[in-house]
Amino acid sequence: MSPRGRPRVTEHCDEIAALLHDGHGFPRISDEVGISQSLVKKRVDTMRHLLATETDDAAWIVKTQRTNVEVARAWIKRAEERAANPEGPS
């Protein structure tokens, strides 16, 4: 199934993931990154949706099944894997 609508914005996602991984909450992340708490939440939701799409696992979207820290860890791992293999899968 092809994605519909506008592409998801991932600006600040790497920085938010790193701060979540370090145990910071949305208010602190908002201050550190210089964006609103609402936008921090939207970016975490974006990470959840992209992880769900890429792994074909809807559990990433359900907040009671995956914590924000788990999302951050998976996002960081995803970024590391993409950096190690910039060409992507064949």
Q: Is residue 90 scored above 70 in pLDDT?
A: no
CB atoms closer than 10 angstroms to residue 47: 24
On the question of pLDDT at 4 being above 80, the answer is no
- Which residue would you say has higher pLDDT here, 87 or 59? 59
Please say if the pLDDT value at position 2 is more than 70. Answer: no
Q: What angle do CA 85, 88, 90 make, to 5 degrees?
A: 120
Question: What pLDDT is stored for residue 3 in this prediction?
Answer: 60
Answer for the pair 71, 47: CB distance below 8 angstroms, yes or no: yes
Using 50, 70 and 90 to split pLDDT, how confident is the model at 5?
confident
Q: Are 86 and 36 in contact (CB under 8 A)?
A: no
HSE, CB side, 13 Å, CA atoms: give it for residue 22. Answer: 11
pLDDT at 88 over 70: no
Residue-wise pLDDT tens digits, 21-74: 999 999 999 999 999 999 999 999 999 999 999 999 999 999 999 999 999 999
- 50 vs 31, 34, 61, 63, CA distance in Å? 25, 23, 9, 14
**Residue 1 pLDDT:** 47
